Amino acid sequence: MTDLDTDLTGLSAVRLLDGYRKGEFSPVDATRAALERAERIQPEVNAFVRLTADEALAQARASAERWRRGEPAGLVDGVPVTVKDILLLRGAPTLKGSRTITEQGRWDEDAPSVARLREHGAVFLGKTTTPEFGWKGVTDSPLNGVTRNPHDPTRTAGGSSGGAAAAVALGAGPLALGTDGGGSVRIPAAFCGIFALKPTYGRVPLYPASAFGTLAHVGPMTRDAADAALLLDVIATPDSRDWSALSPPPGSFTAGLAGGVRGLRVAYSPSFGGQVAVRPAVAAVVRRAVERLAELGAYVTEADPDFTDPVDAFHTLWFSGAARVTQHLGPRQLELLDPGLREICAEGARLTALDYLAAVDVRMELGRRMGRFHDSYDLLVTPTLPLTAFEAGAEVPKGSSHRRWTGWTPFTYPFNMTQQPAASVPVGVDADGLPVGVQLVAARHRDDLVLRAAHTLYEAGVTPSGS
């Protein structure tokens, strides 16, 4: 029986599952509510490229029958999920925000993370927006237009997983799959006020392989850390299609949420040693969150990681990847690309193998330095971004001296280069009511530690509740 006083779109995945178990409402109720919300928000925020309503309701009805029998298929049976339109979803075209990809084709394969969700009974609402090939930190594309911020539609949702972040923030499904090659789950999470985790590289298998190589991660985007841990328990399973996938994790990420932060050694770097100009309102909100970690028992020290901005090396890796992804396109197709993407593809095509290997050297040294850093500190805490959401449809804020999106994301892309787990946790808003995120970073393979610290902040009331 459905509790008509319950807004199902406001519930976390954990709470939905509890409701299914108790018979308070069904997967059909939750799916209908999520689809109605998705249709209602779409004209204003443009979070979706495709809603698969008929398929979702059929999946929800099958799930409801399994729950009725007391035989759920898995950990997320009946939970509505969205998939970024970079990842394959069986039965739906994956166009990656590009007019150069045709809808024709069989589209009969799931990405590994999608396949695991399907095995666990998830309900797929549809595909969410991305900039073309996920190339930048905001979400707009020649194919799908501009995705807008749920807190202020005149501003960007961030990117490249902007549609996923907006959908979760507005109740169109509590779980979302995003991808992150330079901050692409953490940037929109910070701008939209949700949680997102970029896991250790290889923790979530990826297929087909990204042209951006080992910078690209698949990660959960959710209401809170508990939902992210649940989602990671499902998708952190090896897949034979990804030769770089890690072996199974040693235990459940959900089970590892308890324990708090007492005794953890936390390094707080407010500006990477003065390298980043952080807006005062952002800095103040982040500092309060760090102070709360100390109150909860963490040993907090203001300390900066020992590296200078690796943006040039990142650009070499990123631009060459972009050139590779568009290498097969003819002159007419190249004209269809986002102009900014076309520019970086041209730059990437001019790079040599020696340029690329020099960037790899920078990356390896950065990884060594961060490995040593985590000998002394369990967690590194920074702002996720130095600013809050700016005007929609722009790659950089108006009046910025930066030309590319990397100019305003200096806290995120270094940890794609080092392959470390990094999460964005919503910890407050600025004077305009725009969300601020704090970034938690741990040593490689310590995804559990990032999730545990984030969950502790939720439990302490520092972040909005997911249920």
Give the other-Cβ count within 10 Å of 50's Cβ: 18
Confidence (pLDDT) at 5: 56
Which one from 12, 26, 63, 84 is the annotated catalytic residue? 84
The one-character DSSP state at 338 is -
What are the E-state strand segments in 299-434?
299-302, 379-383, 422-429
Which one from 98, 113, 184, 210 is the annotated catalytic residue? 184
CB 238 within 8 A of CB 204: no
Residue pLDDT tens, the chain, 467 long? 344 457 999 999 999 999 999 999 999 999 999 999 999 999 999 999 999 999 999 999 999 999 999 999 999 999 999 999 999 999 999 999 999 999 998 999 999 999 999 999 999 999 999 999 999 999 999 999 999 999 999 999 999 999 999 999 999 999 999 999 999 999 999 999 999 999 999 999 999 999 999 999 999 999 999 999 999 999 999 999 999 999 999 999 999 999 999 999 999 999 999 999 999 999 999 999 999 999 999 999 999 999 999 999 999 999 999 999 999 999 999 999 999 999 999 999 999 999 999 999 999 999 999 999 999 999 999 999 999 999 999 999 999 999 999 999 999 999 999 999 999 999 999 999 999 999 999 999 999 999 999 999 999 998 865 44
Superfamily of domain 10-459: Amidase signature (AS) domain (3.90.1300.10)
210 catalytic, yes or no? no
184 catalytic, yes or no? yes
H helices of 351-407, in order, are 353-376
The H or E element spanning position 62 is helix 53-69
Question: Which DSSP string corresponds to 95-123?
Answer: -TT-TTS-S-S------HHHHHHHHTT-E
247 catalytic, yes or no? no
Confidence (pLDDT) at 466: 45
Confidence (pLDDT) at 467: 45
Burial class (CB in 10 A: 0-12, 13-18, 19+), 459: middle
Integer angstrom CA distances of residue 401 from 252, 273, 406, 424: 45, 21, 12, 25
Q: What size, in residues, is the chain?
A: 467
Q: Which residues pair with 51 in a beta bridge?
A: 126
Buried b (16+ CB within 10 A) or exposed e, 332-356: eeeeebbebbbebbebbeebeeebb
Which one from 12, 160, 210, 424 is the annotated catalytic residue? 160
pTM for the full model? 0.97
CB 212 within 8 A of CB 318: yes
Question: Which DSSP string corresponds to 409-422?
Answer: -TTTTHHHHTT--E
The one-character DSSP state at 139 is -
CA neighbor of 37 nearest in space, from 226, 223, 174, 194: 174
CA neighbor of 161 nearest in space, from 447, 169, 113, 153: 169
Both tokens of 35, joined, read 């689809």
